[in-house]
Amino acid sequence: MSFSNLGLSPEVLKAIEDAGYVEPTPIQQEAIPYVLMTRDVLGCAQTGTGKTASFTLPMIDILSSGRAKARMPRSLILTPTRELATQIAENFEIYGKYNKLTMALLIGGVSMEEQTKKLDRGVDVLIATPGRLLDHFERGRILLNDIKVLVIDEADRMLDMGFIPDVEKIVSRLPKIRQTLFFSATMPPEIRRLSDAFLMNPKEVTVAPQSRPAAETVTQMLTVINPREKREALRRIIKQEHVETAIIFCNRKRDVDILDKSLRKHGFNAAGLHGDMDQASRSETLERFKDRKINFLVASDVAARGIDIDDLPVVFNFDVPLHSEDYIHRIGRTGRAGREGRAFSLASPADGVLVQAIESLLGNPIQRLEIEGLNTQPLEQTDDKSSNRTRRRAGHSRNQKKATGKVQSGRKQEQNGPNSRNPGKSRRVHSSDDKNPNEGESKSPWRDEERPRRRRKRSRGENDKDPENAVVGMGDHMPDFLKKPARPQ
Protein backbone atom coordinates (compact mmCIF):
# COMPACT_ATOMS: atom_id res chain seq x y z
CA MET A 1 0.00 0.00 0.00
CA SER A 2 1.17 3.53 -0.80
CA PHE A 3 0.22 6.89 0.73
CA SER A 4 -1.94 7.67 -2.29
CA ASN A 5 -4.37 4.94 -1.19
CA LEU A 6 -5.06 6.64 2.17
CA GLY A 7 -7.09 9.56 0.81
CA LEU A 8 -4.55 12.33 1.40
CA SER A 9 -4.52 15.49 -0.74
CA PRO A 10 -2.08 16.00 -3.64
CA GLU A 11 -0.24 18.72 -1.68
CA VAL A 12 0.44 16.39 1.24
CA LEU A 13 1.40 13.51 -1.06
CA LYS A 14 3.91 15.76 -2.81
CA ALA A 15 5.45 16.75 0.53
CA ILE A 16 5.68 13.07 1.54
CA GLU A 17 7.42 12.28 -1.75
CA ASP A 18 9.90 15.13 -1.21
CA ALA A 19 10.66 13.73 2.24
CA GLY A 20 11.56 10.35 0.67
CA TYR A 21 8.81 8.20 2.18
CA VAL A 22 7.20 5.58 -0.05
CA GLU A 23 5.07 3.22 2.04
CA PRO A 24 3.10 4.03 5.21
CA THR A 25 3.75 2.15 8.43
CA PRO A 26 1.02 -0.10 9.90
CA ILE A 27 -0.15 2.54 12.39
CA GLN A 28 -0.36 5.08 9.56
CA GLN A 29 -2.33 2.69 7.35
CA GLU A 30 -4.84 2.05 10.11
CA ALA A 31 -5.19 5.53 11.64
CA ILE A 32 -5.03 8.03 8.76
CA PRO A 33 -8.33 7.02 7.04
CA TYR A 34 -10.28 7.28 10.31
CA VAL A 35 -8.69 10.64 11.18
CA LEU A 36 -9.74 11.95 7.74
CA MET A 37 -13.27 10.77 8.55
CA THR A 38 -13.08 13.08 11.64
CA ARG A 39 -13.58 10.16 14.01
CA ASP A 40 -12.01 9.91 17.44
CA VAL A 41 -9.03 7.56 17.37
CA LEU A 42 -7.33 5.63 20.16
CA GLY A 43 -3.93 4.61 18.81
CA CYS A 44 -1.42 2.30 20.47
CA ALA A 45 1.88 1.46 18.78
CA GLN A 46 5.43 0.95 19.90
CA THR A 47 7.98 3.74 19.75
CA GLY A 48 9.49 4.42 16.34
CA THR A 49 6.56 3.19 14.23
CA GLY A 50 5.46 6.57 12.86
CA LYS A 51 2.70 7.66 15.25
CA THR A 52 3.51 11.33 14.71
CA ALA A 53 2.87 11.23 10.96
CA SER A 54 -0.32 9.24 11.52
CA PHE A 55 -2.00 12.37 12.93
CA THR A 56 0.02 15.23 11.39
CA LEU A 57 -0.66 14.16 7.78
CA PRO A 58 -4.48 14.02 8.01
CA MET A 59 -4.61 17.11 10.26
CA ILE A 60 -2.99 19.18 7.52
CA ASP A 61 -5.80 18.19 5.14
CA ILE A 62 -8.51 18.80 7.74
CA LEU A 63 -7.18 22.28 8.58
CA SER A 64 -6.39 23.28 4.98
CA SER A 65 -9.76 25.02 4.68
CA GLY A 66 -10.51 27.79 7.12
CA ARG A 67 -8.63 30.51 8.91
CA ALA A 68 -7.62 30.97 12.54
CA LYS A 69 -8.67 33.95 14.62
CA ALA A 70 -6.40 35.91 16.93
CA ARG A 71 -5.63 34.00 20.16
CA MET A 72 -8.04 31.24 19.11
CA PRO A 73 -6.12 28.23 17.69
CA ARG A 74 -8.03 25.71 15.59
CA SER A 75 -6.18 22.60 16.79
CA LEU A 76 -4.18 21.62 19.85
CA ILE A 77 -1.47 18.99 20.27
CA LEU A 78 -0.39 18.23 23.86
CA THR A 79 2.97 16.54 24.46
CA PRO A 80 4.84 15.73 27.69
CA THR A 81 8.30 17.04 26.73
CA ARG A 82 9.82 19.94 24.86
CA GLU A 83 11.80 17.62 22.60
CA LEU A 84 8.69 15.78 21.45
CA ALA A 85 6.87 19.07 20.85
CA THR A 86 9.78 20.31 18.74
CA GLN A 87 9.82 17.08 16.73
CA ILE A 88 6.09 17.39 15.97
CA ALA A 89 6.61 21.00 14.88
CA GLU A 90 9.34 19.85 12.50
CA ASN A 91 6.95 17.26 11.04
CA PHE A 92 4.35 19.94 10.34
CA GLU A 93 6.96 22.06 8.58
CA ILE A 94 8.02 19.13 6.38
CA TYR A 95 4.58 17.78 5.47
CA GLY A 96 2.75 21.12 5.37
CA LYS A 97 5.12 23.13 3.19
CA TYR A 98 2.58 23.20 0.33
CA ASN A 99 -0.24 24.30 2.63
CA LYS A 100 -0.57 27.77 4.15
CA LEU A 101 -1.02 26.77 7.77
CA THR A 102 0.25 28.82 10.71
CA MET A 103 1.79 27.10 13.71
CA ALA A 104 2.92 28.04 17.23
CA LEU A 105 5.10 26.10 19.64
CA LEU A 106 4.46 26.71 23.35
CA ILE A 107 7.22 25.15 25.45
CA GLY A 108 9.17 26.18 28.51
CA GLY A 109 12.60 27.77 28.39
CA VAL A 110 11.59 30.10 25.53
CA SER A 111 10.47 33.72 25.68
CA MET A 112 6.73 33.99 26.34
CA GLU A 113 6.57 37.32 24.52
CA GLU A 114 7.56 35.75 21.20
CA GLN A 115 4.98 33.03 21.73
CA THR A 116 2.32 35.64 22.54
CA LYS A 117 3.04 37.51 19.30
CA LYS A 118 2.36 34.34 17.29
CA LEU A 119 -0.87 33.72 19.19
CA ASP A 120 -2.01 37.27 18.52
CA ARG A 121 -1.65 36.70 14.78
CA GLY A 122 -3.75 33.51 14.97
CA VAL A 123 -2.50 29.94 14.57
CA ASP A 124 -4.03 26.89 12.92
CA VAL A 125 -1.87 24.37 14.80
CA LEU A 126 -0.87 24.86 18.44
CA ILE A 127 1.75 22.44 19.82
CA ALA A 128 2.31 22.78 23.55
CA THR A 129 3.41 21.21 26.79
CA PRO A 130 0.70 21.36 29.49
CA GLY A 131 2.53 23.67 31.88
CA ARG A 132 3.35 26.41 29.39
CA LEU A 133 -0.12 26.26 27.84
CA LEU A 134 -1.75 26.82 31.25
CA ASP A 135 0.62 29.74 31.88
CA HIS A 136 -0.63 31.48 28.74
CA PHE A 137 -4.25 30.60 29.44
CA GLU A 138 -4.22 31.91 33.01
CA ARG A 139 -2.73 35.19 31.78
CA GLY A 140 -5.56 35.59 29.31
CA ARG A 141 -3.34 35.31 26.26
CA ILE A 142 -5.16 32.41 24.63
CA LEU A 143 -8.73 31.16 24.17
CA LEU A 144 -9.50 27.47 23.71
CA ASN A 145 -13.15 27.62 22.66
CA ASP A 146 -12.41 27.23 18.92
CA ILE A 147 -10.44 23.96 19.06
CA LYS A 148 -11.66 21.57 16.36
CA VAL A 149 -9.01 18.84 16.76
CA LEU A 150 -7.29 17.75 19.99
CA VAL A 151 -4.29 15.42 19.98
CA ILE A 152 -2.86 13.92 23.17
CA ASP A 153 0.47 12.32 22.28
CA GLU A 154 2.48 9.95 24.51
CA ALA A 155 -0.34 9.76 27.04
CA ASP A 156 1.44 7.14 29.15
CA ARG A 157 4.40 9.48 29.53
CA MET A 158 1.98 12.18 30.63
CA LEU A 159 0.86 9.83 33.37
CA ASP A 160 4.43 9.04 34.47
CA MET A 161 5.40 12.71 34.65
CA GLY A 162 2.32 13.73 36.64
CA PHE A 163 0.75 15.86 33.89
CA ILE A 164 -2.66 14.17 33.88
CA PRO A 165 -4.29 16.74 36.24
CA ASP A 166 -3.09 19.53 33.95
CA VAL A 167 -4.36 17.68 30.89
CA GLU A 168 -7.77 17.19 32.50
CA LYS A 169 -7.86 20.90 33.38
CA ILE A 170 -7.09 21.85 29.78
CA VAL A 171 -9.60 19.42 28.26
CA SER A 172 -12.34 20.76 30.54
CA ARG A 173 -11.93 24.15 28.84
CA LEU A 174 -12.25 22.81 25.28
CA PRO A 175 -15.49 22.60 23.26
CA LYS A 176 -17.48 19.44 23.90
CA ILE A 177 -17.91 18.81 20.19
CA ARG A 178 -14.45 18.18 18.76
CA GLN A 179 -12.31 15.43 17.27
CA THR A 180 -9.91 13.82 19.75
CA LEU A 181 -6.89 11.72 18.81
CA PHE A 182 -5.31 9.82 21.69
CA PHE A 183 -1.94 8.14 21.08
CA SER A 184 0.25 6.13 23.44
CA ALA A 185 3.07 3.61 23.21
CA THR A 186 1.57 1.51 26.02
CA MET A 187 -1.99 1.14 27.29
CA PRO A 188 -2.05 0.56 31.06
CA PRO A 189 -5.43 0.57 32.86
CA GLU A 190 -5.03 4.20 33.96
CA ILE A 191 -4.61 5.35 30.37
CA ARG A 192 -7.56 3.23 29.30
CA ARG A 193 -9.81 4.97 31.85
CA LEU A 194 -8.53 8.34 30.75
CA SER A 195 -9.27 7.62 27.10
CA ASP A 196 -12.82 6.59 28.01
CA ALA A 197 -13.33 10.02 29.58
CA PHE A 198 -11.86 12.02 26.68
CA LEU A 199 -13.00 10.08 23.59
CA MET A 200 -16.44 9.58 22.08
CA ASN A 201 -17.03 6.27 20.29
CA PRO A 202 -13.37 6.02 19.21
CA LYS A 203 -11.86 3.74 16.62
CA GLU A 204 -9.16 1.75 18.40
CA VAL A 205 -6.01 1.12 16.40
CA THR A 206 -3.52 -1.22 18.08
CA VAL A 207 -0.43 -2.27 16.18
CA ALA A 208 2.07 -3.28 18.87
CA PRO A 209 1.50 -6.84 20.13
CA GLN A 210 1.20 -6.91 23.92
CA SER A 211 3.66 -9.81 24.31
CA ARG A 212 6.44 -8.16 22.31
CA PRO A 213 6.29 -4.41 22.92
CA ALA A 214 9.90 -3.78 21.86
CA ALA A 215 10.91 -3.50 18.23
CA GLU A 216 12.25 -6.78 16.86
CA THR A 217 14.95 -4.90 14.95
CA VAL A 218 16.70 -4.07 18.25
CA THR A 219 19.23 -6.58 19.60
CA GLN A 220 19.12 -6.38 23.39
CA MET A 221 21.94 -7.37 25.75
CA LEU A 222 22.35 -7.14 29.51
CA THR A 223 25.35 -7.40 31.80
CA VAL A 224 25.25 -7.59 35.60
CA ILE A 225 28.27 -5.90 37.15
CA ASN A 226 29.49 -4.47 40.44
CA PRO A 227 28.13 -0.89 40.73
CA ARG A 228 31.64 0.45 41.29
CA GLU A 229 32.74 -0.99 37.95
CA LYS A 230 29.87 0.31 35.81
CA ARG A 231 31.79 3.19 34.26
CA GLU A 232 34.68 0.89 33.46
CA ALA A 233 32.23 -1.64 32.02
CA LEU A 234 30.65 1.03 29.81
CA ARG A 235 34.02 2.04 28.37
CA ARG A 236 34.96 -1.58 27.73
CA ILE A 237 31.66 -2.32 25.93
CA ILE A 238 32.14 0.75 23.72
CA LYS A 239 35.54 -0.55 22.67
CA GLN A 240 34.59 -4.24 22.59
CA GLU A 241 31.47 -3.72 20.45
CA HIS A 242 33.04 -0.97 18.30
CA VAL A 243 30.40 1.61 19.20
CA GLU A 244 30.94 4.92 17.42
CA THR A 245 27.87 6.87 18.55
CA ALA A 246 25.15 6.22 21.13
CA ILE A 247 22.71 7.68 23.65
CA ILE A 248 23.51 6.69 27.24
CA PHE A 249 20.55 6.92 29.65
CA CYS A 250 20.85 7.55 33.39
CA ASN A 251 18.06 7.63 35.98
CA ARG A 252 19.20 10.77 37.79
CA LYS A 253 20.33 14.15 36.54
CA ARG A 254 23.36 14.29 38.82
CA ASP A 255 24.56 10.95 37.40
CA VAL A 256 24.33 12.46 33.91
CA ASP A 257 26.87 15.14 34.84
CA ILE A 258 29.16 12.64 36.60
CA LEU A 259 29.17 10.18 33.70
CA ASP A 260 29.58 12.95 31.13
CA LYS A 261 32.70 14.25 32.90
CA SER A 262 34.05 10.70 33.29
CA LEU A 263 33.70 9.93 29.58
CA ARG A 264 35.33 13.19 28.52
CA LYS A 265 38.15 12.56 31.00
CA HIS A 266 38.86 9.24 29.24
CA GLY A 267 38.95 10.80 25.80
CA PHE A 268 35.37 10.23 24.57
CA ASN A 269 33.55 12.98 22.70
CA ALA A 270 30.52 13.24 25.02
CA ALA A 271 27.96 15.76 26.24
CA GLY A 272 25.15 15.73 28.81
CA LEU A 273 21.43 16.42 28.40
CA HIS A 274 18.92 16.73 31.27
CA GLY A 275 15.95 18.75 32.44
CA ASP A 276 17.90 21.35 34.44
CA MET A 277 19.50 22.73 31.29
CA ASP A 278 17.90 25.74 29.66
CA GLN A 279 16.10 25.19 26.38
CA ALA A 280 18.77 26.89 24.26
CA SER A 281 21.50 24.60 25.63
CA ARG A 282 19.32 21.51 25.19
CA SER A 283 18.52 22.38 21.58
CA GLU A 284 22.15 23.15 20.78
CA THR A 285 23.34 19.87 22.33
CA LEU A 286 20.77 17.85 20.37
CA GLU A 287 21.70 19.54 17.10
CA ARG A 288 25.39 18.84 17.68
CA PHE A 289 24.59 15.20 18.39
CA LYS A 290 22.42 14.88 15.27
CA ASP A 291 25.22 16.45 13.20
CA ARG A 292 27.68 13.88 14.65
CA LYS A 293 29.71 16.63 16.30
CA ILE A 294 29.08 14.71 19.54
CA ASN A 295 29.50 10.93 19.58
CA PHE A 296 27.98 10.05 22.96
CA LEU A 297 24.96 11.80 24.44
CA VAL A 298 24.51 11.14 28.17
CA ALA A 299 20.85 11.84 28.92
CA SER A 300 18.16 11.51 31.53
CA ASP A 301 14.68 10.33 30.59
CA VAL A 302 13.90 13.80 29.25
CA ALA A 303 15.35 12.47 25.99
CA ALA A 304 13.74 9.02 26.10
CA ARG A 305 10.86 10.14 23.92
CA GLY A 306 10.40 12.68 21.21
CA ILE A 307 13.91 12.48 19.77
CA ASP A 308 13.99 11.12 16.25
CA ILE A 309 17.61 10.68 15.20
CA ASP A 310 18.28 9.09 11.84
CA ASP A 311 20.17 5.81 12.01
CA LEU A 312 21.11 5.84 15.70
CA PRO A 313 22.94 2.51 16.02
CA VAL A 314 23.23 1.99 19.80
CA VAL A 315 21.48 2.86 23.06
CA PHE A 316 22.93 2.26 26.53
CA ASN A 317 21.00 1.93 29.78
CA PHE A 318 23.69 2.92 32.26
CA ASP A 319 20.99 2.58 34.91
CA VAL A 320 18.12 0.11 34.71
CA PRO A 321 14.95 2.23 34.47
CA LEU A 322 12.57 2.15 37.42
CA HIS A 323 9.58 1.57 35.12
CA SER A 324 9.63 -1.27 32.62
CA GLU A 325 7.75 0.94 30.10
CA ASP A 326 10.62 3.44 30.17
CA TYR A 327 12.94 0.65 29.02
CA ILE A 328 10.81 0.26 25.88
CA HIS A 329 10.95 3.97 25.13
CA ARG A 330 14.68 4.19 25.72
CA ILE A 331 15.65 1.37 23.39
CA GLY A 332 13.06 2.69 20.94
CA ARG A 333 15.52 5.47 20.04
CA THR A 334 17.36 2.88 17.93
CA GLY A 335 16.07 0.38 15.41
CA ARG A 336 13.62 2.93 13.99
CA ALA A 337 11.91 2.69 10.59
CA GLY A 338 13.03 -0.91 10.09
CA ARG A 339 16.73 -0.27 10.72
CA GLU A 340 18.88 -2.53 12.87
CA GLY A 341 19.86 -1.35 16.33
CA ARG A 342 21.51 -2.53 19.55
CA ALA A 343 20.66 -1.84 23.19
CA PHE A 344 23.09 -2.54 26.05
CA SER A 345 21.97 -2.41 29.69
CA LEU A 346 24.20 -2.29 32.78
CA ALA A 347 22.59 -3.71 35.91
CA SER A 348 23.85 -4.21 39.44
CA PRO A 349 23.00 -7.38 41.42
CA ALA A 350 20.42 -5.39 43.43
CA ASP A 351 18.43 -4.59 40.25
CA GLY A 352 16.86 -8.04 40.13
CA VAL A 353 13.30 -6.76 40.63
CA LEU A 354 13.63 -4.16 37.87
CA VAL A 355 15.17 -6.59 35.39
CA GLN A 356 12.49 -9.16 36.17
CA ALA A 357 9.76 -6.58 35.44
CA ILE A 358 11.35 -5.66 32.11
CA GLU A 359 11.74 -9.28 31.02
CA SER A 360 8.16 -9.97 32.05
CA LEU A 361 6.99 -7.09 29.83
CA LEU A 362 9.15 -8.27 26.94
CA GLY A 363 7.94 -11.84 27.28
CA ASN A 364 11.43 -13.32 27.16
CA PRO A 365 14.78 -12.97 28.97
CA ILE A 366 17.39 -10.47 27.79
CA GLN A 367 20.56 -11.98 26.37
CA ARG A 368 23.51 -11.74 28.79
CA LEU A 369 26.75 -10.10 27.68
CA GLU A 370 30.23 -10.98 28.91
CA ILE A 371 32.77 -8.15 29.18
CA GLU A 372 36.44 -8.84 28.59
CA GLY A 373 38.49 -8.30 31.73
CA LEU A 374 35.51 -7.92 34.11
CA ASN A 375 33.62 -10.50 36.13
CA THR A 376 29.86 -10.51 35.75
CA GLN A 377 27.64 -11.30 38.73
CA PRO A 378 24.23 -12.93 39.18
CA LEU A 379 21.13 -10.93 39.98
CA GLU A 380 19.91 -11.09 43.54
CA GLN A 381 16.84 -13.19 44.23
CA THR A 382 13.76 -11.01 44.65
CA ASP A 383 11.51 -11.10 47.70
CA ASP A 384 8.41 -9.26 48.84
CA LYS A 385 10.37 -6.68 50.84
CA SER A 386 12.59 -5.67 47.91
CA SER A 387 9.59 -5.59 45.60
CA ASN A 388 7.78 -3.19 47.92
CA ARG A 389 10.87 -1.01 48.18
CA THR A 390 11.15 -0.88 44.39
CA ARG A 391 7.49 0.07 44.06
CA ARG A 392 8.00 2.89 46.55
CA ARG A 393 10.94 4.17 44.53
CA ALA A 394 8.90 3.93 41.36
CA GLY A 395 6.03 5.81 42.96
CA HIS A 396 8.37 8.63 43.96
CA SER A 397 9.68 8.94 40.40
CA ARG A 398 6.25 8.62 38.80
CA ASN A 399 4.93 11.87 40.32
CA GLN A 400 7.94 13.94 41.16
CA LYS A 401 6.05 17.16 41.83
CA LYS A 402 3.79 15.64 44.47
CA ALA A 403 6.69 13.80 46.07
CA THR A 404 8.70 16.99 46.32
CA GLY A 405 5.78 18.70 48.03
CA LYS A 406 5.51 15.90 50.55
CA VAL A 407 9.19 16.16 51.38
CA GLN A 408 8.98 19.89 51.92
CA SER A 409 5.88 19.62 54.11
CA GLY A 410 7.56 16.83 56.07
CA ARG A 411 10.55 19.02 56.74
CA LYS A 412 8.33 21.86 57.92
CA GLN A 413 6.51 19.51 60.26
CA GLU A 414 9.83 18.40 61.76
CA GLN A 415 10.88 21.97 62.46
CA ASN A 416 7.57 22.93 64.11
CA GLY A 417 6.71 19.59 65.72
CA PRO A 418 6.71 18.77 69.44
CA ASN A 419 10.14 17.14 69.24
CA SER A 420 11.77 19.97 67.29
CA ARG A 421 13.85 21.06 70.32
CA ASN A 422 15.52 17.68 70.54
CA PRO A 423 17.44 16.99 67.34
CA GLY A 424 18.04 13.42 68.42
CA LYS A 425 14.36 12.60 68.08
CA SER A 426 13.81 14.21 64.68
CA ARG A 427 13.46 11.94 61.68
CA ARG A 428 15.25 12.33 58.38
CA VAL A 429 13.12 12.90 55.32
CA HIS A 430 14.52 10.82 52.51
CA SER A 431 14.44 11.52 48.82
CA SER A 432 14.94 8.97 46.03
CA ASP A 433 18.64 9.87 45.93
CA ASP A 434 19.35 8.51 49.44
CA LYS A 435 21.59 5.49 49.44
CA ASN A 436 19.72 3.72 52.22
CA PRO A 437 15.99 4.48 52.19
CA ASN A 438 15.41 2.31 55.27
CA GLU A 439 17.38 4.57 57.59
CA GLY A 440 15.20 6.89 59.60
CA GLU A 441 17.20 7.89 62.67
CA SER A 442 20.22 10.02 63.26
CA LYS A 443 23.61 8.30 62.97
CA SER A 444 24.96 10.01 66.13
CA PRO A 445 26.64 7.55 68.58
CA TRP A 446 24.92 9.31 71.52
CA ARG A 447 21.57 8.06 72.63
CA ASP A 448 18.84 10.68 73.05
CA GLU A 449 18.97 10.75 76.82
CA GLU A 450 22.78 10.76 76.87
CA ARG A 451 23.31 13.53 74.32
CA PRO A 452 25.47 16.29 75.93
CA ARG A 453 24.14 19.84 75.86
CA ARG A 454 26.19 22.33 73.92
CA ARG A 455 27.62 25.21 75.93
CA ARG A 456 26.36 28.64 74.95
CA LYS A 457 29.02 30.91 73.55
CA ARG A 458 29.64 34.02 75.64
CA SER A 459 28.81 37.32 74.04
CA ARG A 460 31.18 40.22 73.86
CA GLY A 461 31.66 42.07 77.13
CA GLU A 462 31.29 39.07 79.39
CA ASN A 463 34.17 38.38 81.75
CA ASP A 464 35.37 34.86 81.07
CA LYS A 465 38.12 35.05 83.72
CA ASP A 466 35.91 36.12 86.67
CA PRO A 467 32.44 34.54 86.43
CA GLU A 468 31.40 36.20 89.75
CA ASN A 469 31.33 39.58 87.97
CA ALA A 470 28.99 38.30 85.29
CA VAL A 471 25.89 40.42 84.83
CA VAL A 472 22.75 38.96 86.37
CA GLY A 473 19.42 40.17 85.03
CA MET A 474 19.62 43.81 83.88
CA GLY A 475 22.37 44.80 86.30
CA ASP A 476 23.09 48.54 86.54
CA HIS A 477 21.22 49.21 83.35
CA MET A 478 17.71 48.71 84.74
CA PRO A 479 15.31 51.31 83.26
CA ASP A 480 13.99 53.92 85.68
CA PHE A 481 10.34 53.12 85.07
CA LEU A 482 10.90 49.66 86.55
CA LYS A 483 12.21 51.21 89.80
CA LYS A 484 8.99 53.11 90.51
CA PRO A 485 6.80 51.52 93.23
CA ALA A 486 3.65 49.87 92.04
CA ARG A 487 0.41 51.76 92.64
CA PRO A 488 -1.93 50.20 95.22
CA GLN A 489 -5.01 48.57 93.79
Band of the pLDDT at 447, cuts 50, 70, 90? very low
For residue 277, pLDDT beyond 50? yes
Parts of the chain belonging to CATH 3.40.50.300 = 3-206, 218-368
- The larger pLDDT score, comparing residue 301 to residue 260, is at 260
Distances (CA, A) of 326 to 52, 162, 304: 19, 15, 8
* Chain CA centroid to CA 191, Å: 17
- Residues linked to residue 347 through DSSP beta bridges, in sequence order: 224
Averaged pLDDT for residues 398-403: 43
* Cα gap 109→129, rounded to integer Å: 11
CATH topology of domain 218-368: Rossmann fold (3.40.50)
Phi and psi for 183 in degrees, rounded to 5? -120, 140
Mean pLDDT for 327-346 is 85
pTM for this model (two decimals): 0.60
442 pLDDT higher than 50: no
Bridge partners of 182, per DSSP, are 42, 152
Q: What is the mean pLDDT of residues 403-408?
A: 42
CATH of domain 3-206: 3.40.50.300
**Nearest residue to 353 via CA among 318, 391, 315, 401:** 391
pLDDT at position 38 is: 94
CB 137 within 8 A of CB 73: no
**pLDDT for residue 113 is more than 50:** yes
Mean pLDDT of 81-95: 91
pLDDT score at 213: 54
Tell me the mean pLDDT in the region 198-204: 93
- For residue 279, the model assigns a pLDDT of 75
- pLDDT for 223-256, tens place per residue? 999 999 999 999 999 999 999 999 999 998 889 9
Return the higher-pLDDT residue of 317 and 208: 317
Give the burial string for 184-214 (b: 16+ CB within 10 Å, else e): bbbbeeebeebbeebbeebbebebbeeeebb
Contacts by residues 373-380 (CB-CB < 8 Å, ≥ 24 positions apart):
373/236, 374/225, 374/229, 374/232, 374/233, 374/236, 376/223, 376/224, 376/225, 377/224, 377/225, 377/226, 377/349, 378/224, 378/349, 379/224, 379/347, 379/349, 379/351, 379/352, 379/355, 380/349, 380/350, 380/352
Average pLDDT over residues 347-364: 91
DSSP 374: S
Total residues found in the chain within this entry? 489
Mean pLDDT of 409-414: 42
- C-alpha 331/C-alpha 342 separation (Å) is 8
Percent of the residues in the chain that have a pLDDT greater than 70, as a whole number: 75
